[in-house]
Chains A and B, each alone.
Chain A
Amino acid sequence: MKPIDYVRARTLDEAVLLLRQGGERARVLAGGTDLIVQVRENRRDVDLFVDIKNIPETNRLEYDPEHGLTLGAAVPCYRIYGNPAVAKAYPGLIDAVAMIGSVQIQGRATVGGNLCNASPAADSIPPMIVYRGVCHIYGPQGSRVVPVEEFCTGPGQTVLGPGELLVWIHFPPPERHAQAHYLRFTPRNEMDIAVAGSAAYVRLNGERIASARVALSAVAPTPLFVPEVGEYLAGKEITDEVIRQAGELAKAAARPITDMRGTAEQRKHLSAVLTRRALRGAIQRAQEA
């Protein structure tokens, strides 16, 4: 390991300038729970860490029922689940942030970092997709927005261009009679990475599903939004057969690989099982909402 520069940026402009100067070997440092491990294990060459934890915009954690949630890229998981109003409004996001790593990791790890690390198995991304999260990006050309489901482009790859950084993610306010649920499958009960995961969001209209969104983790090169499931469910009555069919559509959309964490067949199968269970969990929450 060679000496590495570290700069604590105080403003977005300073961070952008440092990232431009540093080029490809400059990386944004938020919680560091992925990045520092990657550098220490020689999996990523970095000459400059640009620490964004002291920039006011990246630390925003603001929620109100009219404007929704603004979640800064440097906000660690524990602040999210530690905020009762956020926890009540977005329980599907809490499912994910409360299971990432361990309690110790959650004290440091950020949802913004989870997104920028762009692991196909990232737990927080499917719930952000189903809650219709939008990424606010700042860079040399100013600001732009990208929906969460379009942010990751491949394993470890994102839409961020040279000098750009994720500032915050914005979520619309919760809808009436609507809620989400995220579930993953791991062989161990904690300290593990999803073999597969599924987030489901449903809005109910009495006994029927008015609209739904489903996204999967660890079954494709990126976290996978599956619009087919929502299209199928819209207007359907809640029955076992409908839920089963929704699971089958998720399974059909999954295109996983076999690796040390699980087999392709297992992941396909789990896409159906977890989607069924996530839908049932979301429906129950929506009925209580």
Chain B
Amino acid sequence: MAEEKKQFRVIGTRPIRHDGTDKVTGYARYGADIHLSGMLYGKVLRSPHAHAVIKRIDTSKAEALPGVMAVITGRDLPEVADRLEELGEQVTNIRDESHNVLATGKVLYHGHAVAAVAAVSPHVAEEALKLIEVEYEVLEPVLDVLEAMKPDAPLLNPNLRTRGIGEEDGKPSNIAQHFQNKHGDVEKGFAEADYVVEREFRTTMVHQGYIEPQNATAYVRPDGSVTIWCSTQGAFAVRSQVAQLCKIPVSKIKVVPMEIGGGFGGKTVVYLEPLAVLLSKKTGRPVKMWMNRAEVLQATGPTSGSVIRVKMGCKKDGTLTAAQATLIYEAGAFPGSPVGAGAGVIFAPYRLPNVQIDGYDVLVNKPKTGAYRAPGGTNAAFAAESVVDELARLCGMDPLEFRLKNGVKEGDRRADGPRLPRVGYLETVRAAMESDHYKTPLEPSPDPTKRRGRGVASGFWFNGGGPSSVLVKVNEDGTVDLIEGSTDIGGTRASCAMIVAEVLGLPAEDVHPHVVDTDSIGYTSVTGGSSVTHKTGWASYLAAQEVREEVIRRAALLWSVEPAEVEYHDDGTLTCKSDPSKKTTFKEIAAQMNRTGGPIEGKGTINAGGAGPGFGTHIVDVEVDIETGKVDILRYTAVQDVGRAIHPAYVEGQIEGGVAQGAGWALTEEYYYDEKGHLLNSSLLDYRMPTALDLPLIETILVEVPNPNHPLGVRGVGETPIVPPAGAIANAIYDAVGIRLTRLPMKPSYVLEELIKAGLTS
């Protein structure tokens, strides 16, 4: 299906991004830029406790404050039934979501919403929050997954019973799910091994860290129709969730996705949208809401902390014989951690004759987790890649040679079942071995207090597809508009526009992409799972093909020949096979379209399957200050099979961004709770994401093994690069100081503790 060997004119070039001018001039409109006449401002009251029963809420004093127009609590939300909602890489239960957007009965984490106010100014709304009286009966929180799994642990939800594999006893539990992926016989495999390594790893919750906080403005008109302006990865997903949470038909809701300041998976679930709708309904006026940074960190989907046990065995020659893992992930306050995905990632790069993986999804009194770039992958790979590094050392093998020997290729079976289609994992390992970085020996530091080391790690992501809709309409000046429903968080306006330009033989700048509201385009699933250039790119390809066919028909009409006589060339010119004197261009046809039959449009709708899995292999050099425990990254190279790089600069940007987030997860980022479950570091000062000064220039090597199931060979590229960094950095630290770190983040206090234990400093 893929058009191999084809010479592309637009694909693979680096045109200026279509949204660039608006971004650099400040014209791009974000949710915070919405101002409507008569608009009110909404604020949320949040729980100061991690676990408590709400005994009583008295809103009368707040309601009496001049300027307050409405107050809502959990009682204002309609009762909703259990129903699972697909959100790309996350499935959420609408009933849980209802209890998450406004607590009823119990609060389950520090920052859980309990009431919301709409007032004439944000300051009045804030003052009103202080006047709401909530009486709590504080309960013992459970913050650690292993504690939460104990039979006598405090229960978050006394009605929750484990969905298991036959071992369930029917008693209430914090374990929402236990599953097992298995093939072969691991006991036999370990018996065959010459070396077996077994370790336990622990990681903490981390946040997506998008710069733009959640925001939503809603207006419910007197006729009951609703418009919502918000920052989201999926306008249709917002429409569907709000419809169910507020019991409004989808046809009455229009969602206008604003420009988005980052999402990374965290902006698929709704938080403020239903509250703004309820407050607008109550007041008859538009209501605007936004979170501050503390609210974002306390109450919007971080990804899970985890306990992961890994055991792997290999023969002396490095051949892996068996691998076993137990992954226990924090779900947060409601079921739904990405432990399933973690189980799919953990051993994905390796061919394993015997494998067994157990996964547990466990409730704790922390925020409901949400999708975060390759959800569950980074911590899983950290565990497995550390053990693989150890095995390679035991065998005396180069760690990339070890991966080459055991790496997967087309036809190999993944631990979670499916056989792999054509993938480029081994190509990434070979490219890493051939890289300037790997071939350049690491010089020791001239400073005796600094030790340097090099580490490698690999990573995998599934990548996704899904439904998508696109319209391409031709303008009389020969440009085209591309109308799409995929919100753009990773450069997909550019990639989809370039695909249209390629098909029609136009320059990229002659295609104008527009992300529109839910009334103006067909259903489009969320921007998640690295799916957009795959699915919406494919829909764009189909829509552009339709336009191309129509342009051929118009030329045939003008020349009075059969369409089969018309040849459409890559540069947008058309000629007639039987009469070389007949020539025209896309532009000329566009100028005459209303005289040759009317407007020209093409549509592409698809439910895209066939996503191409992504593999990457990373190399990192670090320097450890043995007196302080600080780890600095000196050099970083990320190699990735990207299928087909439509816009290589954007692909490189995705890889650099993934590495930057992975490095933050590895070294400094963590949710820091006290023993009562209060999140203490809910600011970007103390939730330490890396800055530009903490990272070197990240080098990227793009390996292109086209996805055979996509017309242009596209693979998702955005998530794979966050998977290897923590493992690669841990392995580099081992190389530098000989200490195997098993906790994330590998922050200075932890590294120093281990350096002191090892006698490297005193």
Contacts and interface: CB of A to CB of B under 8 A. Distances in A.
Interface stretch (A53-61, A86-94, A257-265): A257-265
Contact of B688 (A185, A192, A270): A192
Interface string B725-755: 0000000000000000000000111001100
B126 A266 contact: no
Interface in A253-289: 259-263, 265-266, 269-270, 273
B688 A266 contact: no
Interface string A194-222: 01000000000000000000000000000
Interface stretch (B173-181, B339-347, B690-698): B690-698
Nearest to B679: A260
A198 B146 CA distance: 40
Interface string B646-680: 00000000000000000000011000100000001
B691 A187 contact: no
Contact of B123 (A2, A189, A261): A2
B685 interface: yes
Given A185-B628, A270-B628, A273-B627, A191 B752 contact: no
B148 to A, nearest CB: 23
Contact of A188 (B294, B629, B688): B688
A187 B630 contact: yes
A46 to B, nearest CB: 14
A263 B749 contact: yes
A241 interface: no
Interface in A167-204: 185, 187-193, 195
B681 interface: yes
A2 B748 contact: no
A187 B668 contact: yes
Contacts of A193: 685-686
B688 A273 contact: no
A248 to B, nearest CB: 10
Nearest to A3: B123
Interface residues of A, number: 23
Given A188-B668, A260-B672, A195 B748 contact: yes
Given A260-B681, A261-B686, A270-B628, A188 B127 contact: no
A109 to B, nearest CB: 14
A2 B680 CA distance: 26
B691 A191 contact: yes
Given A1-B126, A260-B681, A273-B627, A187 B688 contact: yes
Contacts of A191: 685, 691
A188 B692 CA distance: 10
B679 to A, nearest CB: 10
A2 B123 CA distance: 7
Nearest to A102: B691
A185 B627 CA distance: 11
A189 B688 CA distance: 11
A245 to B, nearest CB: 14
Contact of A189 (B294, B681, B694): B694
A2 B753 CA distance: 46
Interface in B90-122: none
A188 B690 CA distance: 7
Most B Cβ at <10 Å: residue of A189, A193, A263 = A189
Contacts of B752: 266, 269
Most A Cβ at <10 Å: residue of B668, B693, B749, B756 = B749
B387 to A, nearest CB: 27
B748 A189 contact: no
A188 B628 contact: no
B647 to A, nearest CB: 31
Nearest to B689: A188
A187 B747 CA distance: 7
A187 B672 contact: no
Interface in B600-645: 627-630
B123 A188 contact: no
B693 A190 contact: yes
A187 B628 CA distance: 10
A156 to B, nearest CB: 17
B693 A189 contact: yes
Nearest to A270: B628
Contacts of B694: 188-189
A185 B748 contact: yes
Contacts of B688: 187-188, 192
A187 B749 CA distance: 9
B297 to A, nearest CB: 12
Interface string B195-227: 000000000000000000000000000000000
Nearest to B631: A187
A190 B691 contact: yes
Contact of B628 (A192, A259, A261, A273): A273
Contacts of B749: 195, 262-263, 265-266
Contacts of A273: 627-628
Contacts of B667: 187
Interface in B677-733: 680-681, 685-686, 688, 690-691, 693-694
Contacts of A195: 748-749
A101 to B, nearest CB: 10
Contacts of A259: 680
Interface in A16-67: 41
Contacts of A2: 123, 127
Contacts of A3: 123
B748 A260 contact: no
Interface string B121-142: 0010011000000000000000
Given A185-B628, A188-B694, A273-B628, A1 B668 contact: no
B748 A266 contact: yes
B604 to A, nearest CB: 44
Given A188-B668, A189-B691, A191-B691, A1 B628 contact: no
Nearest to A41: B294
A3 to B, nearest CB: 8
A273 B761 CA distance: 10
Contacts of B686: 193, 260-261
Contacts of A262: 748-749
A191 B694 CA distance: 11
A1 B123 contact: yes
Contacts of A1: 123, 126-127
Nearest to A262: B749
A262 B668 CA distance: 12
Nearest to A263: B749
A89 B521 CA distance: 67
Contacts of A260: 672, 680-681, 686
B462 to A, nearest CB: 32
A193 B683 CA distance: 13
Interface string A214-249: 000000000000000000000000000000000000
Contacts of B123: 1-3
A185 B630 contact: yes
Nearest to B674: A260
A41 B682 CA distance: 12
A193 B749 CA distance: 15
A3 B747 CA distance: 42
Contacts of A269: 752, 756
Contacts of B627: 273
Most A Cβ at <10 Å: residue of B127, B627, B681, B690 = B627
Nearest first, the 3 closest Cβ-Cβ pairs linking A and B are A189-B693, A260-B672, A266-B749
26 contacts: A1-B123, A1-B126, A1-B127, A3-B123, A41-B294, A185-B628, A185-B748, A187-B630, A187-B667, A187-B668, A187-B688, A188-B690, A188-B691, A188-B693, A188-B694, A189-B691, A190-B693, A191-B685, A191-B691, A192-B685, A193-B686, A262-B748, A265-B749, A265-B753, A266-B748, A270-B628
Interface of B: 123, 126-127, 294, 627-630, 667-668, 672, 680-681, 685-686, 688, 690-691, 693-694, 747-749, 752-753, 756
Given A2-B123, A188-B691, A190-B691, 5 more contacts: A188-B688, A189-B694, A260-B681, A262-B748, A266-B748
